[in-house]
Each structure stands twice: as C-alpha cells, then as structure tokens.
Amino acid sequence: MTSTTNAPRTTPAPPPAQTWWRRPWIVPLLLVVAAFLAFSVPPYLTFDPALSRLEPPTGNDLYYPLLVAHVVFGTVAMTTACFQIWPAFRNSHRRGHRITGRVYVFAGVLPAGLLGLYVGWHTSAGPSVQVANLVGSALWLIVTLYGLRAARQRRYGDHRRWMARSFALTMSIVLSRVINIAATIVLTPQVDTTFLGSAELMEYSAVSIGVWLSPLLLILLTDWLLDRRRPGAGRPALRDGTTRTGERSPDAGHRARHRPH
C-alpha cells in the first residue's frame, strides 16, 4: 500500500554572495575583451575604408558605413555582456543588471545582429563565410530574443540559459580570430597543392573555418556547463528529497508519492 501524501517541501537556502575572486575567470575575460576591442575597433573609428579588415564589395557604398555601425553596436554588446554574466555584479546590483541587460539587447545585439545580416550577405569572402555569417547573426538574434522573452515572463532559469547562449555567440568573434590564425598556419603549406597556388582561396578557407567552428564550439561548451550546473546534477539526493546544497531533487516528488507506510 502506498501513501499519496506529498512530503513537506524544503525551501532551498539562498545562494551565498559571490565575490569576484571566487570567479577567477571574470578578470581574464575582461582583459581578453578589452584587448580584442582595443585591437579591432580603432581602425573602423577612422571611417577610412582602406583601414578596414574586411574588404568592402565593389560598387556598394552602403556596406562600409553599416559595417562600422555593426562594429560599434557589437562593441556595446561585448562590453555589457561581461557585466551580465558576472555573478558578483548580478547579485549585488540587481538594478544595474537590468539596465545593462537592456543596453545589451537593444543597443547591442539587436542592431548589431540585424546589421550583421546585411554585412554577412554582402561579404566578399566567399559563399561559405556568407552562409556562416547569416546563420550566426540569425542565431544570435533568436537566442537573445528568447532570453528577453523569458525574463519578461519571469522564467529566470530559462532566461539565464538563453542569455548564456547569447553571450557565447557574442564572444564567438574572439575565438574566430584565434581559429583563423591557427587555420592559416596549418593551411599555408597547402597553397600550391590543395589551393592550386591561390593564397586568396586559402585565406577564405581559413576564415570560413573560424566563423563556422567558433560559435559551434562555444555553444557546445555553454550547454555542457549549463547541464553541469543544473540543480541536483551529479549530487546525491537525501531522504527528504533535497541535495546536499539544499536544492530539491527533480524526482523527489515522485519518491514522496510512492513512499510505503
């Protein structure tokens, strides 16, 4: 005979306040972002197409101004994203978290992503890079809007998961540059064979590897970390249905309903 009486719920203990030094990745992240922006952004602020690291397509006078705008809005997204995922800032400055979150979405991702669709469509780096840029920009917009929608519906767990994916796509441009350098080093000896003597074709292939591989790797890493940090993941449940950290195990209700007298 079984009992249908639900066991009393245990209120999870609030998470302890996290100081910045308990998250040792935040300082290196800020330094990497600052170094990347200091290196990548200034050439575009001169408004000189000759200094652009992306070759403007011939006859398209609109491309370069929109590219500069894309870079500026992307800079806003990268800067505010760091504060969005910083636990100490998020827990201690809730209002600041909401403000920077709105800036991240409405003055960062949305305009940068929409402009990225145009810039990606008109890229001169070949069809593979074109498709990668279009897919990446579309995914960036979609996951960010899902995160915004979840926050407005007060589904904060879902909000954090979607915004973590948005952050991964925001930072994929940094990893893309690193992969591009590595791919160039690996492919350069193949210029005369695989690429039939075309260094330009080799460069397009290296860029393609970077823009495809970087968001894929970061999304996979992000979801792996999110699964590891789910409440109760990898922690044994106690008799009252909670884990050792005070979180309620997902199958605790099932065990309580079928507990024998």
Instruction: Please state the separation of Cα 191 from the chain's center in Å.
Output: 33
* DSSP code string of 112-132: HHHHHHHHHHT-SS-HHHHHH
Q: Write out pLDDT tens, residues 65-116.
A: 999 999 999 999 999 998 888 777 777 888 888 899 999 999 999 999 999 9
Q: What is the DSSP letter of 252?
A: H
* DSSP code string of 162-175: HHHHHHHHHHHHHH
Query: Mean pLDDT across the stretch 130-150?
Result: 95
| C-alpha radius of gyration, the chain, whole number | 23
- Both tokens of 246, joined, read 């005070």
Cβ atoms of 139 and 222 within 8 Å: the answer is no
Distance of alpha carbon 84 from alpha carbon 29, whole angstroms: 13
Distance of alpha carbon 13 from alpha carbon 246, whole angstroms: 6
**Position 164 pLDDT exceeds 50:** yes
pLDDT at position 232: 58
**Position 240 pLDDT exceeds 90:** no
Distance of alpha carbon 50 from alpha carbon 240, whole angstroms: 67
Please report which helix (H) or strand (E) contains residue 185, including its range.
helix 156-187
What are the boundaries of each domain within the chain?
Answer: 20-232
Confidence (pTM): 0.76
Whole-angstrom CA distances from 230 to 11, 47, 62, 161, 236 are 17, 46, 46, 10, 13
**Position 247 pLDDT exceeds 50:** no
Q: Write out pLDDT tens, residues 23-76.
A: 566 788 888 889 999 999 999 988 888 888 777 787 888 999 999 999 999 999
pLDDT at position 13: 47
Please report which helix (H) or strand (E) contains residue 181, including its range.
helix 156-187
